[in-house]
């Protein structure tokens, strides 16, 4: 009984500490070359149906916490979770949400950003891109590593808008980076950095800076179609519109620091006390 | 803890609701197996006993959360493999516990069959809800079909 009380108290103390562990961070607007520079993540998943941990509303809150201005909320072969996220974000004044789908097929994966109706995963890449364009969206090749190249035939490449060039897998599997670079160089594609977020860590760990005329869904899609993006890897290599990258380099304003808030003492206490409390509850709870 | 590195009340509350289908799916699987069987305890007692066998999964989840709360979310592939392998070990351990649960609670001569049916029902529900959007194309992709 005493052990259970201590364990429960530890969990409650961890939750209390977690409540005050972080202060909100400011997200000052940035203008370069007359464009609003928006930090975006164009590959974010939500629970359910997409192997993700967080609900659409929690994902919106996390993207705001990571100072993202725009996010493509991509359900795997569905758009309704993205619509829930957009509805929630509009109500709280959160990031601009592009309702999106990861068209998840055996041959290729593609982000259909800014669509309203689900696209059938049985389509070829070229057919899917046509449908995305008919809906006013933008087609982004998702982590186009070598095993997906057969799915990206000439017909698809002719109309593809963008490709992920910076993605967490270039750090977890560095041998894949040249594959993304080779794909990106196939033709003039809009450069995209995406986190492929499923709930581990934080969204925006890889991100895209969009140079938009306005922070709206249409404004962002227009910028993506026009190729006005800049993407940076951890070594500082830049991809995207050379003129905009040069301008950003001159002002020294990009890339912005992306790291999540440093762990505070309260946060560390919350983590340790929470883990100990949960361990205690599990172990004494089953006696 | 996976996301923020500490316990955040909002995420906990929302997560509890969003993931409450997991114990419900487990109970559904248990109900399918136990509803026609003679058993030594009532159904509610059987549910309590069954969940008492979840300690390995819960301990694994605390360890998993602690690890990912303490490191960068971008880790080498080998780290992912280690966690995946540990999950297989936990699944086997948990299966072993539940095998004996079914043997003692139902007195079945083939508790393995009951375990299989319970897992088939509850895991099917889990996979459909958590990853149903791309379950079939994902399977085809893994099998290199399509």
Picking from A16-25, A41-50, A58-67, B69-78, which range would have the lowest pLDDT averaged per residue? A16-25
pLDDT at A153 over 70: yes
> Do A70 and A36 belong together in one domain?
yes
Contact A199 B3 (CB under 8 A): yes
Residue A25 lies in a domain: no
- Closest by CA to A47, choosing from B121, B80, B20, is B20
Q: How confident is the model at residue A20 (pLDDT cuts 50, 70, 90)?
A: confident
> Do A131 and A218 belong together in one domain?
yes
Q: Is the peptide bond before A48 cis (omega within 30 degrees of 0)?
A: yes
What secondary structure does DSSP assign to chain A, as a single string?
Answer: -HHHHHHHHHHHHHHHHHHTS-PPPP----EETTEEEEEEEEEE--SSSSS-SS-HHHHHHHHHHTT-SEEEEEEET-SHHHHHHHHHHHHHT-PEEEEEEEEE-SS-EEEEET-SSPPPTTS-HHHHHHHHHHTT-EEEE-S--GGGGGGS-HHHHHH--EEEEE-THHHHSGGGHHHHHHHHTTS--EEEE---BSSSS-TTSS-EEEEESSSSHHHHHHHHHHT-EEEE-TT--EEE-HHHHHHHHHHT--SPP-PPPPPPHHHHHHHHHHHHHHHHHHHHHT-
Q: For residue B69, give how far its alpha carbon lies from the nearest alpha carbon of chain A (Å).
A: 8
**Does A146 contact B at CB distance below 8 Å?**
no
Q: Which two tokens stand for residue B143?
A: 């099998």
pLDDT at A24 over 90: no
> Do A62 and A177 belong together in one domain?
yes
Q: How confident is the model at residue B72 (pLDDT cuts 50, 70, 90)?
A: confident
Q: What does the pLDDT read at residue A259?
A: 63
Contact A75 B133 (CB under 8 A): yes
Q: Name the residue in chain A with its Cα closest to that of B79.
A: A172
Kindly state the percentage of chain A with pLDDT values over 90.
83
Q: For residue A243, give how far its alpha carbon lies from the nearest alpha carbon of chain B (Å).
A: 30
CB contact at 8 A, A113 and A137:
yes
Domain extent, residue A280, equals 1-20+258-287
Query: How far is residue A202 from each of residues A45, A74, A274, B80, B103, measured CA to CA in Å?
Result: 12, 16, 20, 17, 44
pLDDT per residue as tens digits for the range B27-71? 999 999 998 887 888 999 999 999 999 999 999 999 999 999 888
Structural domain total, chain A: 2
Question: Chain B contacts of A61, Cβ < 8 Å?
Answer: 10
Residue A51 lies in a domain: yes
Tokens 């609701």 -> residue? B17
Residue B132 lies in a domain: yes
pLDDT at A22 over 80: no
> Do A92 and A13 belong together in one domain?
no
pLDDT per residue as tens digits for the range A235-282? 999 999 999 999 999 988 888 766 666 678 888 899 999 999 999 999
Length of chain B: 146
What's the whole-number average pLDDT of chain A? 94
* CB-CB neighbours of A129 under 10 Å: 26
> Do A58 and A154 belong together in one domain?
yes
Q: Higher pLDDT residue, B97 or A262?
A: B97
Question: Chain A contacts of B76, Cβ < 8 Å?
Answer: 172-173
Query: How far is residue B128 from each of residues A23, A29, A49, B19, B21, measured CA to CA in Å?
Result: 38, 41, 7, 13, 11
Q: What's this model's pTM, rounded to 2 decimal places?
A: 0.94
Question: Chain A contacts of B11, Cβ < 8 Å?
Answer: 54, 58
Prediction ipTM score: 0.92
Question: Chain B contacts of A102, Cβ < 8 Å?
Answer: 134
Residue B1 lies in a domain: no
Residue B2 lies in a domain: no
Domain extent, residue B20, equals 9-142
Q: Name the residue in chain B with its Cα closest to that of A53.
A: B15
What's the whole-number average pLDDT of chain B? 92
**Does A201 contact B at CB distance below 8 Å?**
yes
- CATH number of A173's domain: 3.20.20.140
Structural domain total, chain B: 1
CB contact at 8 A, A99 and A115:
yes
Q: What does the pLDDT read at residue A285?
A: 75
Picking from A135-139, B102-106, B121-125, which range would have the lowest pLDDT averaged per residue? B102-106
Question: Average pLDDT for residues A58-78, to the nearest whole number?
Answer: 96
* β pairing state of A70-76 and A229-232: unpaired
Q: Higher pLDDT residue, B21 or B1?
A: B21
Contact B12 A15 (CB under 8 A): yes
CB pairs under 8 A between A and B: 143
Q: How confident is the model at residue A133 (pLDDT cuts 50, 70, 90)?
A: very high
Question: Average pLDDT for residues A210-224, to the nearest whole number?
Answer: 98
Question: Average pLDDT for residues A151-168, to the nearest whole number?
Answer: 98
> Do A275 and A264 belong together in one domain?
yes
How many whole angstroms separate alpha carbon A176 and alpha carbon A4? 48
Q: Name the residue in chain A with its Cα closest to that of B132.
A: A49
pLDDT per residue as tens digits for the range B17-29? 999 999 999 999 9
């Amino acid at each position: 009984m005493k052990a259970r009380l201590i364990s429960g108290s530890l969990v409650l103390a961890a939750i209390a500490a977690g409540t005050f562990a972080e202060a909100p961070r400011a997200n000052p607007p940035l203008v370069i070359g007359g464009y609003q520079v928006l930090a975006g993540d164009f590959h974010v998943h939500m629970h359910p149906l997409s192997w993700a941990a967080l609900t659409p509303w929690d994902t919106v809150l996390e993207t705001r916490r990571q100072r993202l201005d725009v996010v493509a909320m991509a359900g795997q072969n569905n758009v309704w979770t993205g619509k829930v996220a957009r509805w929630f974000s509009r109500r709280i004044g959160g990031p601009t949400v592009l309702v999106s789908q990861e068209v998840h097929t055996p041959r290729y994966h593609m982000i259909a950003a800014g669509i309203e109706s689900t696209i059938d995963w049985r389509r070829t890449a070229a057919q899917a891109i046509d449908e995305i364009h008919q809906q006013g969206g933008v087609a982004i090749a998702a982590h186009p590593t070598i095993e997906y190249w057969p799915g990206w035939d000439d017909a698809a490449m002719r109309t593809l808008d963008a490709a992920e060039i910076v993605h967490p897998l270039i750090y977890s599997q560095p041998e894949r980076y040249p594959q993304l670079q080779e794909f990106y160089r196939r033709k003039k594609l809009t450069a995209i950095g995406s986190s492929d977020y499923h709930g581990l860590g934080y969204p925006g760990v890889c991100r895209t800076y969009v140079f938009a005329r306005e922070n709206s869904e249409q404004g962002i899609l227009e910028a993506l179609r026009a190729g006005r993006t800049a993407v940076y890897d951890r070594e500082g290599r830049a991809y995207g519109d050379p003129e905009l990258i040069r301008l950003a380099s001159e002002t020294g304003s990009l890339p912005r620091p992306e790291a999540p808030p440093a762990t505070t003492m309260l946060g560390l206490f919350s983590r340790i006390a929470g883990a100990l409390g949960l361990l205690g509850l599990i172990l004494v709870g089953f006696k | 803890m996976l996301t923020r590195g500490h316990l955040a009340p909002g995420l906990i509350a929302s997560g509890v609701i969003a993931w409450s289908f997991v114990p419900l799916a487990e109970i559904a699987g248990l109900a399918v197996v136990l509803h026609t069987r003679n058993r030594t305890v009532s159904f509610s007692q059987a549910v309590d006993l069954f969940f008492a066998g979840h300690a390995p999964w819960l301990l694994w989840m605390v360890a998993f959360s602690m690890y990912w709360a303490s490191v960068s979310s971008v880790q080498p592939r080998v780290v992912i493999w280690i966690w995946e392998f540990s999950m297989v070990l936990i699944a086997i351990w948990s299966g072993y516990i539940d095998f004996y649960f079914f043997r003692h609670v139902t007195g079945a001569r083939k508790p393995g069959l009951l375990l299989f049916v319970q897992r088939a029902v509850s895991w099917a529900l889990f996979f459909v809800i958590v990853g149903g959007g791309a379950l079939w194309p994902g399977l085809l992709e893994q099998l290199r079909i399509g």
